[in-house]
């Protein structure tokens, strides 16, 4: 059995007191840089790992933030890098949990973070129903909800403005001469989707055209497949359209692939716009025009709100809507002549 290396053993190896070793590991200012370097190198050499839970119990807090994401394959998985960079500016470390869109797993992840005294928790929730999370965390740890599912003024949240983002997408397509624009949605209805739908409807009404909104079936979270299925249904209906606006980039990529397979040129015959700004959208073989969420800006705001609420729990809830931007690539062009 592998032995557990304790702080007492590390101190003995170095000929220092446990107090001095502890201060060196925790970067106290009254310990010189050479001693800190010596302690850390020896700790790595003999395999000493600090007992984080014990340390946090002693301090009644910690320097780590829990990030609970419903799906790492989403834009929020990609946003983790921005969160890490924002947290590092304040000496904070992140612990990432992927709930796999499961509410029970989400609850267990949050419980673990509370028990290990996380300084705060960032949650991209599985559902808009966050009452279960509120009951668990109220008065115990600050929470910031990230993403478009939560717009509850009684909690902290940071999101991109889906209404403004949809307006950008529609303005771009309409300026290119498109009038027959179809909106593609995933199967999950949410307040975010309703905001985007309202903006789409308003844009179509402004140009005197009928709306056409299609929602995919539950394809076990496979948005690529969902986009392909929607295009197949649309083509089978015989309905004329020249542009697609999808509420998720992966939905748009799936739709564009199905159009190409059917011999329909993108963007020559049909233009496609997505929403999110995932890394894959910029790949040359995809080159998707999309509404991009400002990840760095949102991440910095999340960490800022979390830090201040950890320092002063009496602060009122804060809300931040970031303005997305339109990134024009190769999947959109002028509407074809009739």
The C-alpha atoms of residue 5 and residue 187 are separated, in whole angstroms, by: 51
Domain CATH number, residue 41 = 1.10.260.40
Give me the pLDDT at residue 1, please.
Answer: 42
Lowest mean pLDDT among 25-34, 63-72, 124-133, 195-204: 25-34
The C-alpha atoms of residue 305 and residue 156 are separated, in whole angstroms, by: 8
Give 292's strand partners: 276, 325
Give me the pLDDT at residue 57, please.
Answer: 47
Asked whether residue 57 is assigned to any structural domain, the reply reads: no
pLDDT tens sequence across 31-84: 888 888 898 888 878 877 665 545 554 555 568 899 999 988 889 989 999 999
Does one domain contain both 33 and 147?
no
Asked whether residue 334 is assigned to any structural domain, the reply reads: no
Does one domain contain both 201 and 258?
yes
Does one domain contain both 286 and 309?
no
For residue 290, report the phi and psi dihedrals to the nearest 5 degrees: -150, 160
Asked whether residue 1 is assigned to any structural domain, the reply reads: no
Asked whether residue 156 is assigned to any structural domain, the reply reads: yes
pLDDT tens sequence across 206-241: 999 999 999 988 766 789 999 999 999 999 999 999
Does one domain contain both 168 and 284?
yes
Does one domain contain both 124 and 196?
no
Does one domain contain both 115 and 44?
no
Does one domain contain both 289 and 299?
no
Does one domain contain both 167 and 289?
yes
Q: Is the pLDDT of residue 166 over 80?
A: yes
The C-alpha atoms of residue 97 and residue 99 are separated, in whole angstroms, by: 6
Does one domain contain both 231 and 110?
no
Does one domain contain both 176 and 284?
yes
Q: Look up the domain containing 17 and give its range.
A: 7-50
pTM across the whole model: 0.80
Domain CATH number, residue 78 = 3.40.50.2300
Lowest mean pLDDT among 23-32, 126-135, 157-166: 23-32
Percent of the chain whose pLDDT exceeds 90: 62
Does one domain contain both 76 and 110?
yes
Per-residue confidence at 139, pLDDT binned at 50, 70, 90? Answer: confident
Does one domain contain both 180 and 288?
yes
Asked whether residue 2 is assigned to any structural domain, the reply reads: no
Q: Is the pLDDT of residue 27 over 60?
A: yes
Question: How many domains are there within the chain?
Answer: 3
pLDDT tens sequence across 281-320: 999 999 999 999 999 999 999 999 999 998 898 899 999 9
- As a dihedral over the C-alpha atoms of residue 222, residue 288, residue 191, residue 185, rounded to 10 degrees, the angle is -50
DSSP string, 10-46: HHHHHT--HHHHHHHHTT-TTS-HHHHHHHHHHHHHH
First to last CA, the chain: 77
Averaged pLDDT for residues 134-154? 88
Averaged pLDDT for residues 85-104? 91
Asked whether residue 77 is assigned to any structural domain, the reply reads: yes
């Amino acid at each position: 059995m592998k032995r557990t290396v304790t702080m007492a053993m590390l101190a003995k190896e170095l000929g220092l007191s446990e107090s001095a070793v502890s201060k060196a590991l925790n970067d106290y200012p009254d310990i010189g840089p050479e001693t800190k370097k010596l302690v850390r190198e020896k700790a790595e050499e003999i395999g000493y790992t600090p007992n984080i839970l014990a340390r946090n119990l002693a301090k009644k807090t910690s320097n780590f933030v829990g990030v609970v994401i419903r799906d790492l394959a989403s834009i929020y998985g990609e946003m983790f890098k921005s969160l890490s960079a924002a947290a590092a500016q304040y000496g904070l470390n992140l612990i990432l949990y992927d709930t796999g869109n499961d509410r029970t797993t989400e609850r267990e992840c949050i419980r673990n973070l509370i028990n290990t005294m996380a300084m705060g928790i960032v949650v991209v929730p599985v559902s808009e129903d966050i009452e279960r999370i509120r009951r668990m965390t109220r008065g115990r740890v600050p929470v910031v909800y990230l993403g478009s599912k939560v717009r509850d003024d009684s909690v902290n949240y940071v999101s991109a403005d889906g209404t403004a983002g949809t307006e950008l997408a529609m303005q771009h397509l309409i300026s290119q001469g498109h009038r027959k624009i179809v909106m593609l949605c995933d199967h999950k209805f949410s307040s975010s989707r309703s905001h985007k739908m309202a903006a789409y409807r308003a844009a179509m009404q402004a140009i005197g055209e009928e709306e056409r909104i299609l929602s995919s079936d539950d394809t076990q979270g496979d948005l690529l497949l969902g986009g392909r299925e929607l295009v197949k249904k649309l083509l089978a209906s015989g309905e004329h359209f020249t542009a697609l606006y999808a509420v998720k980039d992966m939905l748009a990529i799936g739709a564009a692939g199905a159009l190409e397979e059917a011999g329909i040129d993108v963007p020559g015959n049909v233009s496609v716009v997505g929403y999110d700004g995932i890394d894959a959208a910029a790949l040359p073989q995809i080159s998707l025009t999309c509404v991009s969420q400002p990840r760095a800006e949102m991440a910095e705001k999340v960490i800022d709100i979390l830090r201040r609420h950890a320092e002063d729990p009496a602060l009122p809830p804060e809300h931040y809507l970031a303005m997305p931007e339109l990134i024009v690539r190769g999947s959109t062009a002028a509407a074809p002549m009739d």
